[in-house]
Every structure is written in structure tokens, then in C-alpha cells.
Amino acid sequence: MAALATSPLPCLATPVPHAGAAAPQAATQPTLDTDANVVLYRQATKLSAIAYCSTTSIEAWDCGFCGGDADLGGSGGGGVAGAVTFASGDGSLTGFAGWWRERGAAVLAFRGSEDAENWASALDFGRVRLPAWLGGASGGSVAAAQVHEGFLQDYSAVRGAARAAVEHVLTAAGSGALGEVLVVGHSLGGALALLAGVDLAINPVAESNSSGSSSSCTLPVSVYTLGQPRVGDAGFSTFVSGLAGLATAARIVNGRDAVVHMPVEAMGFRHVAGERWIVPPGDADCGAVVTCDDASNGGEDTDCANSVGAD
């Protein structure tokens, strides 16, 4: 899977106007999303794109995608401050955390896969049960829930560094300055973002104060991914959808993106409910964003991305 292009969302960049649209509702039929939400999806996409930039440019906040911070509220004194990068021990998995001032959120962003070979190898693994720290010790049906082995291995490799980066941002911002932890990622980074969101909802990071003491920081967690592959089975989907502390798990799908259909359902994988589908070219509503929350079908809405073939 190649890195994001300079225009990661061609249709979303100019969404179909729909001012005054009704707010998304929990229903089996897709509903037109709100303009405010579309703006947030564009912002999450930009943050995911920034994760592909070099460590130096991210920490200086001068990479091409950072440009002026206009999309992130920078022109009004917002934008992202205090960005710090992190990496797994071997440096193959990276990302950044920062303080998104306009939204009052700590941002955690994961870079996606950099080449097709690495992406293909990630799909060679089967499913494994959730570890205790990711909800596997909850008992009941959750104990049998399974996730993609390769994605779990990757997140486990970068988990400590990512959590430390979030803790650093929360501490630097100061107690009470932030009201949310927002996790984003594209492609493989989306899979890592979902696992990180679940982790942070179950295991809040510690926030240190000026005296050096620390306490658990139980901020709500929101996850916004782009082009995310399937991460777990139906049991995992149900577990995540009902997880306290996980305020949002929105999965943005750009038209006929093939990655979102992998690993295939026949292997026992299911998406978590929360699809936000960008209607593809060739449709009269191209560029419109619809909410597809068919939780009754295990998170897989047959009326959205699953209704069309991949490009």
C-alpha cells in the first residue's frame, strides 16, 4: 500500500453541499452526514496524512500537509502544538502525538504502511484472542473475541511509545486543558488506531502534574480512520461497539477502496460499525458522505462500500 498522495480524499475535498441535513441516526439505512462531521473527517484525513511526513518535519510542524494549519484551525490560533513523534523499537512503525488546540484534544496519529510488500505480509496472519490488557480478561463473550494477529503484533510493538507520547502531550497541555483523545490513521495506520483507541478506553494513560505525581486520565476516546482494513471478528466488533469510554469509532471509506474489504469476511473478519462512506465517481451523489451504522449486521453495512466493487 503506497503512502497517501497529496490529495488523499479527492471527493471529500469538495463534498456535496447539504446544509441543514439531519444528524446521523442509528439505523439500518444510510443517512446523509452533517457538514460539521464532514469537516471533521477532512481534518482527521489531514492528520493521518501528516503521519507520513518525516520525524523532523512533524516535530517542526512544517511538512507539506501541515501547511498553515488552516484546516486545523491554525489561522485563529488553533492548530496542533507540541508535536512529538514515536516509533517501534525497529523503527518500522511510527506516528506522532500533539495538542490540537482548536478541538481541545490530544491527537494520536499512526503512519500507514510504506510499501506493498509490508502490507501483503500483514495479511498473512490469522486471528488470535484478545490479550488481557485489550479486554480479553473481561469474561463472557469478550473472552472469545479475536483480532488479526499481525495487526495486534504491530500495535504491541509500538504501544509503549505511542502511550508515552500521549502522556507527554497531556502533561504538557496541563490538567483540564484537553477534553478528548482523538486517534487517527490511514490503511495499516487505521488498524493500529482502532486498537489504540480500544486500549486507551480500557487503560487510560497517566497524566503527570507539576509536583511530579501522576493520576489516571479518563478522557473520552474518539477514533477516525481512513481506508482501514478489518481488524477483528464479529465478537470484537460487538465488543468495541459497546465499549464504555470509546465515544466514537468512525471508519471513513473512500468510494471503492479495496483495502477496506481485507481481510475478507470468509476468513472470519468483520468491521466495527461506524462506516462513513464517500460515494464514488460514477454515482450521481459522488462526493456525498453517508453514515452507515448497520450494527445489526455486525458492523458490515451492505448498502455502502460493500454494495460496490473495489477499484
CA distance 158 to 90: 9
Task: Answer with the residue of higher pLDDT: 206 or 36.
Answer: 36
What per-residue confidence (pLDDT) applies to 187?
94
CA distance 108 to 95: 7
**Average pLDDT, integer, range 76-97:** 88
What per-residue confidence (pLDDT) applies to 185?
97
What per-residue confidence (pLDDT) applies to 213?
42
Task: Answer with the residue of higher pLDDT: 4 or 148.
Answer: 148
Residue 284: which residues within 8 A CB-CB, separation 6 or more? none
Strands (E), the chain: 31-32, 80-87, 94-100, 105-110, 127-129, 146-148, 180-186, 206-208, 214-216, 221-226, 246-254, 275-278, 289-292
What per-residue confidence (pLDDT) applies to 232?
94
Share of the chain above pLDDT 70, in %: 77
This model's pTM is above 0.75: yes
Residue 149 has pLDDT above 80, yes or no: yes
| pLDDT-derived band at 216, boundaries 50, 70, 90 | low
Longest dimension (CA), the chain: 59
| pLDDT-derived band at 235, boundaries 50, 70, 90 | very high
**Average pLDDT, integer, range 173-198:** 93
DSSP 138: S
Highest averaged pLDDT of the listed ranges 10-19, 38-47, 60-69, 160-169: 160-169
CA distance 185 to 125: 21
pLDDT tens-digit series, residues 272-302: 999 999 988 777 677 889 898 766 666 788 8
**Average pLDDT, integer, range 196-218:** 74
Shortest CA distance to 29 belongs to which of 308, 228, 295? Answer: 295
C-alpha grid cell for residue 133?
A: 490488557
What per-residue confidence (pLDDT) applies to 17?
32
Shortest CA distance to 13 belongs to which of 54, 42, 34, 36? Answer: 42
What per-residue confidence (pLDDT) applies to 1?
28
| pLDDT-derived band at 228, boundaries 50, 70, 90 | very high
128 in Cβ contact with 152 (< 8 Å): yes
DSSP 230: P
Residue linked to cell 473481561: 138
**Average pLDDT, integer, range 139-151:** 86
pLDDT tens-digit series, residues 54-84: 999 999 888 877 755 567 876 555 588 899 9
Shortest CA distance to 96 belongs to which of 156, 207, 182? Answer: 182
Buried-state track 77-116, b at ≥16 Cβ within 10 A, e below 16: ebbbeebbbbbbeeeebbbbbbbbbbbebbbbbbbbbbee
Shortest CA distance to 30 belongs to which of 310, 309, 297, 311? Answer: 297
The mean pLDDT of the chain is 81
Residue 194 has pLDDT above 50, yes or no: yes
Residue 18: which residues within 8 A CB-CB, separation 6 or more? 32, 34, 35, 288
